[in-house]
Homo-oligomer: A and B are copies of this chain.
Amino acid sequence: MKPTIYDVASKANVSIATVSKVLNNSGRISDETRKRVLKVIEQLNYQPSMMATALTGKSTYTIGLLIPDMANPFFGELARNIEDRGHELGYNLLICSTDYQPAKEQNYIELLKRKSVDGIILASGFEQTSEVDKLVKEKFPVTIVARDFPSTYVNSVSLDDFQGGYEATSYLIQLGHRQIAIIARDVWSNRERMRGYKKALEDHGLEEYAMFTFVEKSTVEWGKKVAEEYLRSEKPPTAIFACNDLLASGAIQAARTLHLHVPDDVSIIGFDNTIIATLVDPQLTTMAQPIRAMGREVMDLMVGEIKKEEQSKRRIVLSPTLIKRGSTAKLNK
């Protein structure tokens, strides 16, 4: 079977305490003994069990990541960047997809705690703050990403979604558009983007587009469905702001179905700047999220909290960047 610390100890003719000290570079050990123990460890290919170590109060070096859906390119990329930074710092990820279901979120949090993760990164929907508050109250390390929690005293790194919505919309306005529709899902980030959208319209003395329905899921299909409704209506929009690239792709498909040209007949702007944005034709003008930076920052905050290096909480808010590509153009009437 797998060798234990006892095997090492007896083969090296020392006590397990000594082996433990060699392992952790603690206490006093003569150079000679240290080498002997190290050699035996090598020979047996001994690897201390993290379970046992964790049971004595040490870290598991495992962090839980709650994410809506890792098959969604945005979250896949985000998870990947979080993982990479974690790897650099010696941590692994236990990833759980929640599908935005509060029940799943709740269950997973309990589960992750039972599995003694060192901390939890929340990239999920979390419409209520109660679960998060609970974690914070019991001093369990939590960090939030891609979702701001203004109300709670917790580490977070998020995007300025409001600004993103504002800029995206402003850009469309600047291109001459007056009838600007929005496609969004009823989740926090999208609502913020929508708030930005409304503010931009208001600031320019424009009216919100008459039609609006939330999509139920952030998928191409839903984007297509809703965009089609908009475009088939009596007064179709000349521009559509889709709250993510998937929805924007759907909007492009809708336009194509209706034999409308993008961007000449209708401009479409997306959000996220995932790989998708460069794949579709025309390529998507989109508000880019700094996914890599977000991943790294959130992991850094998490580890800082775990190691208690940083007592005070921080809220890091990153800015989106407008990436101009082919899906938007000046209004030609």
* Residues of A in contact with B (beta carbons under 8 Å apart): 2, 47-52, 54-55, 60, 62, 69-73, 76-77, 79-80, 83-84, 87, 92-97, 110-111, 113-116, 220, 249, 256, 275-276, 278-281
Contact = CB atoms under 8 A, between A and B. Distances in A.
A279 B278 contact: no
A83 B97 contact: yes
Contact of A94 (B48, B62, B71): B62
7 contacts: A2-B113, A49-B55, A49-B114, A50-B114, A83-B95, A220-B275, A281-B281
A70 B60 contact: no
Contacts of A115: 50-51, 60, 62, 92
B280 A281 contact: yes
A15 to B, nearest CB: 21
A69 B80 contact: yes
Which 4 pairs from chain A and chain B are nearest by CB? Answer: A71-B80, A76-B76, A281-B281, A71-B77
A220 B277 CA distance: 12
A84 B73 CA distance: 17
Given A70-B76, A73-B76, 6 more contacts: A50-B115, A55-B55, A71-B73, A71-B79, A93-B94, A93-B95
Contact of A83 (B52, B70, B278): B70
B97 A80 contact: yes
A29 to B, nearest CB: 22
A97 B278 CA distance: 23
Contact of A279 (B51, B60, B84, B279): B279
A65 to B, nearest CB: 9
Contact of A276 (B69, B87, B110, B279): B279
A279 B220 contact: yes
Nearest to A291: B71
B49 A51 contact: no
Contact of A280 (B48, B116, B280): B280
A308 to B, nearest CB: 16
A1 to B, nearest CB: 9
A55 B51 contact: yes
Contacts of A80: 69-71, 97
Contact of A110 (B47, B111, B279): B47
Contacts of A95: 79, 83, 93, 95
Given A70-B70, A70-B76, A73-B73, A220 B55 contact: no
Contacts of A256: 281
Nearest to A283: B253
Contacts of A97: 80, 83-84
A60 B49 CA distance: 13
A61 to B, nearest CB: 8
Contacts of A96: 83, 87, 92
A281 B249 CA distance: 11
A261 to B, nearest CB: 12
B116 A50 contact: yes
Nearest to A250: B279
A49 B56 CA distance: 12
Contacts of A94: 62, 92-94
